[in-house]
Structure 1
């Protein structure tokens, strides 16, 4: 009976973590470029039941599980739908790859959210204010900005009709994107598990192309998440019920011993 309490506790903890992940997905259903997460469950170590040893039961039948736990969170990097905004500083990645940005501590982070803006110094930055690793600075008299599908940044200055190339955006790909660490605010950091960051011109080496005037929507499916949430809540309730019933049985046994 004690084992039942422990197993139910592990079930409640695992379902609670799943509920938190699903809730975060739902909260970011309108966040551009957001990628949904899921949780993988694994059985805890199996152990041999002493009361079943030296019996005719098979070795498999003599073992029992001691609960469940979450092994890892998996990020769904499937591309979200592209929505036209008409804003020239909105860019979407049509395919694989990430934009590289500089964090406050000078390290690189990676994002799919391409809602750009210009900071007070004229640099192209993310919506959160991180400077693009391409380090592109716009002059103050720019009248138009064009991002080509291959990542070239072209501007028209003052009354000139000529387009001037200021720089080149690159996209970053990883051999194992699941190894990236989620930092929050649509940012990811590289790890050994993700592999070395590979910088490429958009449209080459397996990375997507740049689409100007569009933003990538969240890939969260509200219908799917609501179903998952109901199932997770039901699983939590059932495990809580097991604990309640086990407690009642233990109380009855203790009363019989008096």
Structure 2
């Protein structure tokens, strides 16, 4: 008489219930992967040589507990540093002891040292940005702990500037108008330029080497009539706002650096800049440090007005002013692109690449060792990790502002729980029956 089968069945069902209970307990754990119990039967190989049809099994056992690495549902959050992986891969984390762990839990924040960390302090790793000056950021070739530098970025002096304007083709030189206007050349050294001395004015902001902003005022004057006909040539004058210095002798005049004649822009009879004239509508603007008076270096930039037109409509800006300079800026926010690039937004409007996430994938994720806290560790069975940026190779993409929920199916788990409960009861009944049979034998006289 043997109780082995029933006892093994109780033990197997009990372990299966443990696995189910663990799944149910972690149904709301971000990045959790449900486990499954795999059973195997047991036979005594010594019985009749292990080949006879008379073999009787001696019960069951739990052969393995595997995890299902299927994709969990994604949920939006209010944290821009929360991330979810779409597809294969794990976040690569550096632990306090220097070891590397892996996780699907993308709940991250920045600690006081500027590291992106999870709730238990593990640090997210990636490829740090080395050079952001070109059209494409150069990232380091080795993954390391991502560091968010909160130092203000240096200002950048304006090197190129552009604006497109339409100059009303019906306009005439101020001296050819009725009533007659003023000659702008008589007011080059004055702060206030009479409105009757020019046809149109606009302005744009430029920056010196220290990040000081200056307003570049532009004045457009159509050239005087020739034989009663207005030429399609306009003279452009410019002055920076901080060029103007009050005249100590007569503050009312506010004389200072002159309004500079930058050059001319000539249009064809179709109202577009004449391309046969070299450099038409492109001007070089130069201001010395002394003229700027800010302690900055000399300012030199190219002003491009070649997208301007001369059509019969009101004068105005048609292409928004653009220039490549900016003042110093402090870090105001962080974001993550779908390619895993961590970007910083600065108070001066600049966006800089800081780092790119490192994801890792394994030949056999089932072989990973569970560490708790939503972490796994590499093992011999898992194989070595394949590390790369999101969206490369077999690695999935990253979605910012979202998290991956547990892939536990509560309905399935509750059904499985009922099944294992019945299995446990049936195995208990098997032991009770064996006990009754044994009792009958003991009671024989």
What's 2:352 paired with?
164
Greater shift after overlay, 12-21 or 130-139? 130-139
Q: Is the 8 A contact 1:174 1:198 kept in 2?
A: yes
How many corresponding residue pairs?
248
Q: Is the counterpart of residue 21 in structure 1 residue 210 in structure 2?
A: no
What's 2:340 paired with?
151
Q: Which runs of 5 or more residues in structure 1 are unaligned? A: 54-58
Greater shift after overlay, 22-31 or 99-108? 99-108
Greater shift after overlay, 102-111 or 227-236? 102-111
1:6-85 matched pairs, under 5 angstroms = 6-47=4-45, 49=47, 59-85=51-77
Relative to the length of structure 1, the TM-score reads 0.91
Q: Is the 8 A contact 1:48 1:64 kept in 2?
A: no
TM-fit CA distance, 1:105: 2.3
1:114-193 matched pairs, under 5 angstroms = 114-134=106-126, 135-140=145-150, 142-157=331-346, 159-193=347-381
SS at match of 1:68: strand
C-alpha distance in structure 1 between counterparts of 2:427 and 2:46, whole Å: 23
C-alpha distance in structure 1 between counterparts of 2:96 and 2:424, whole Å: 40
Q: Which has the larger radius of gyration?
A: 2
Higher strand share: 2
Q: Which runs of 5 or more residues in structure 2 are unaligned? A: 127-144, 151-329
- Encode CA deviations 1:86-109: one digit per residue, 9 max, x unaligned: 320110001110001122322111
SS at match of 1:133: strand
SS at match of 2:355: strand
1:195-210 matched pairs, under 5 angstroms = 195-210=383-398
SS at match of 1:122: coil
TM-fit CA distance, 1:49: 5.0
C-alpha distance in structure 1 between counterparts of 2:406 and 2:53, whole Å: 46
SS at match of 1:220: coil
- Encode CA deviations 1:118-145: one digit per residue, 9 max, x unaligned: 1121210112211113311223453111
Greater shift after overlay, 84-93 or 72-81? 84-93
Greater shift after overlay, 89-98 or 142-151? 142-151
Q: Is the counterpart of residue 100 in structure 1 residue 288 in structure 2?
A: no
C-alpha distance in structure 1 between counterparts of 2:442 and 2:341, whole Å: 77
C-alpha distance in structure 1 between counterparts of 2:76 and 2:52, whole Å: 57
TM-fit CA distance, 1:230: 0.5
C-alpha distance in structure 2 between counterparts of 1:214 and 1:119, whole Å: 20
TM-fit CA distance, 1:60: 4.5
Q: Is the 8 A contact 1:48 1:62 kept in 2?
A: no
Corresponding residue to 2:103 among 93, 104, 111: 111
SS at match of 2:124: coil
Q: Is the 8 A contact 1:174 1:196 kept in 2?
A: yes
TM-fit CA distance, 1:74: 0.9
C-alpha distance in structure 2 between counterparts of 1:233 and 1:188, whole Å: 30
Point out which structure has higher relative CO (alpha carbons under 8 A, 6+ apart). 1
C-alpha distance in structure 2 between counterparts of 1:136 and 1:38, whole Å: 35
C-alpha distance in structure 2 between counterparts of 1:235 and 1:130, whole Å: 42
- Encode CA deviations 1:1-47: one digit per residue, 9 max, x unaligned: 21xx1111011101100000000000111111110000110111344
Aligned-pair RMSD on alpha carbons? 1.7
C-alpha distance in structure 2 between counterparts of 1:42 and 1:16, whole Å: 15
